[in-house]
Structure 1
Amino acid sequence: MVDASVHLLDRGRVRADRGFVVDGYTMGTADEPNPDHDIAEFVVWNAVVDHPDCTVLWDTGSHPEAGDGYWPEPLYAAFQHVDADEHHLESDLDRAGFDLADIDAVVMSHLHLDHAGGLAAFAGTDTPVYVHEEELKFAYYSAKTTEGSIAYLAADFDHDLAWEVVHRDRHTLASDFELVHLPGHTPGVLGARIDLPEETVLVAGDECYVDANFTEEAPLGPGLLWSERDWLDSLHLLKEEVRRTDRPVDVLYGHDLERFQSFDGGWNR
């Protein structure tokens, strides 16, 4: 296995109702018609994969002005990135020992505003930005029309970027580093399989916001699902990856704070 390392970057906290990320979490019943709502903290993270062939940035986080009017008010009211202004991409990279100039490629798991808010840092450069074909189409469709999803902002990704469009279900980015198409949350979510010397890191991303989505197969809330059928197919694909791997596998979820912290900053660093 390749001697790569994965460095996790903590990009701050989003506060939201847990019912958004686990379908049915706070549903009322005849016995309890008005259940209490659980407002929880979720992590926003990026990663740097320091590979012998290239140094790859996974996602770019939220725009630092998310809470100052950059995000639409109804969306920010539901998903408050309360400390986005404290998490500029360059500063968080620096804390992990990297600089923007160190980044050879960017992989966008998808183009929602809590993932694509730092893409402007790569505008006008020749740094390749990997994105799935279906994601790029849906992002522009959503941001440029009244259809699609409100979670896309053209200001995040409508730049002079060196797009590298992934067309297939799997794409080998580098030795032992494979991108995997996981539609469901959006049409073009990308995850990854990274085979390190001692373990495999399986990046589920927003296919699984939290552990309950993976272990209990509880879907995301309806507002966070583009297609529940595709989401379930993608979940079973991930679980098959774990079953067929005869070595330790760590599954990295999209926003699970406890899970994120359990990995203590990354792997093989």
Structure 2
Amino acid sequence: MDSPRVTLVDRGRVRADMGYVISGYSMASASAPNPDHEIGEFVVWAAVIETKNGTFLWDTGCPPNAETYWPEPLYDAFEAYNATDRSLESDLQTVGYRIEDIDAVVMSHLHLDHAGELSQFAGTETPIYVHEDELPFAHLSATTTAGSIAYLHADFTGAYNWQLVQGDTHTLAPGFKLLHLPGHTPGLLGAELSIDGGEALLIAGDEAYVEANYHDGAPLGPGLMWSQLHWQESRQRLREIERQTDAAVLYGHDLDVFERLAARFSM
């Protein structure tokens, strides 16, 4: 296999106020002091990436017990309403894989909706790739009042075979390049993939929750942005790669785009 093969894995849905995802979406004004709020439906996904160097899992999604495991204010804001109906194991089986098929895991970042089933790999020798800026920030956030509230310590503590990704670019296999995209979090990872057949896929991940973040430059909403300056720089980097490669772009939680690209790329 000279080029990666990608299979996108549907990991369920989250409902949340659009104001979290697009800054100013329901902004009040003098003429509309009490604007209506819109609840959006967002996808949670993972991906299996087969390469010459092994089979990689991209993120793990929400845990089945999110409703009781996540802190109540977080679940109230980001309702993973069908998490109990699925698991990483069952969702992998739906697309023809088993957890035992996974040779390594790439964590785009360690927020609770991405690291929710990382525990499937605790106590194993499975390499877990994470950017060197993400792991300390996750620990800081989960154990102090600093940082972000979207990290749960139990998601990433334990016997893991961490592999720290350094710098802006890290090649995991031919045609599979990790990209450091700080902004949403300090250590957010995306990827540039050269797919069989000459197509290119650019994983923006949570750099852009939805298409409006990426194409229109609408920033993420409150609580979802570690650094807007870094976010803007990461977005420009992705857009330059897109211009050079004519890649399709996969966002972190855009349901319509996910369904379209799942049909296009998944084996």
TM-score w.r.t. structure 1 length?
0.96
Q: Given that residues 4 and 175 in structure 2 are in contact (C-alpha distance below 8 angstroms), is that contact kept between their aligned partners in structure 1?
A: no
Aligned residue for 1:186? 185
Aligned residue for 1:251? 249
**Aligned residue runs from structure 1 range 209-248, under 5 A:** 209-245=209-245, 248=246
Aligned residue for 2:69? 70
Identical-pair percentage: 57
Letter of the aligned partner of 1:83 in structure 2?
N
The root-mean-square deviation of aligned C-alpha atoms, in Å, is: 1.2
- Aligned residues between the structures: 266
* Secondary structure of residue in 2 paired with 1:264: helix
Q: Deviation above 6 Å: which 4+ runs of structure 1?
A: none
Q: Given that residues 54 and 103 in structure 2 are in contact (C-alpha distance below 8 angstroms), is that contact kept between their aligned partners in structure 1?
A: yes
What is the CA-CA distance between 1:268 and the residue it aligns to?
6.0
Kindly indicate whether residue 247 of structure 2 is the aligned counterpart of residue 267 of structure 1.
Answer: no
* Secondary structure of residue in 2 paired with 1:34: coil
Distance in 2 (CA, whole Å) between partners of 1:84 and 1:268 is 22
Letter of the aligned partner of 1:118 in structure 2?
E
Aligned residue for 2:202? 202
Distance in 2 (CA, whole Å) between partners of 1:104 and 1:119 is 14
Q: Given that residues 47 and 57 in structure 2 are in contact (C-alpha distance below 8 angstroms), is that contact kept between their aligned partners in structure 1?
A: yes
Kindly indicate whether residue 30 of structure 2 is the aligned counterpart of residue 26 of structure 1.
Answer: no
Distance in 1 (CA, whole Å) between partners of 2:262 and 2:170 is 28
What is the CA-CA distance between 1:62 and the residue it aligns to?
0.8
* Secondary structure of residue in 2 paired with 1:106: strand
Aligned residue for 1:167? 166
What is the CA-CA distance between 1:148 and the residue it aligns to?
1.1
What is the CA-CA distance between 1:63 and the residue it aligns to?
1.2
Aligned residue for 2:6? 6
Aligned residue for 1:55? 55
What is the CA-CA distance between 1:233 and the residue it aligns to?
0.3
Distance in 2 (CA, whole Å) between partners of 1:266 and 1:85 is 28
Distance in 1 (CA, whole Å) between partners of 2:101 and 2:126 is 10
Distance in 1 (CA, whole Å) between partners of 2:175 and 2:198 is 13
Unaligned runs of 5+ residues in structure 2 are none
Distance in 2 (CA, whole Å) between partners of 1:40 and 1:218 is 16
Letter of the aligned partner of 2:175 in structure 1?
D
**Aligned residue runs from structure 1 range 102-181, under 5 A:** 102-181=101-180
What is the CA-CA distance between 1:265 and the residue it aligns to?
4.1
* Secondary structure of residue in 2 paired with 1:90: helix
* Secondary structure of residue in 1 paired with 2:201: strand
Structure 2 CA distance for partners of 1:123 and 1:266, relative to 1, 3 Å = farther
Aligned residue for 2:81? 82
Structure 2 CA distance for partners of 1:266 and 1:125, relative to 1, 3 Å = farther
* Secondary structure of residue in 2 paired with 1:261: helix
TM-score w.r.t. structure 2 length?
0.97
* Secondary structure of residue in 1 paired with 2:113: coil
Q: Given that residues 204 and 252 in structure 2 are in contact (C-alpha distance below 8 angstroms), is that contact kept between their aligned partners in structure 1?
A: yes
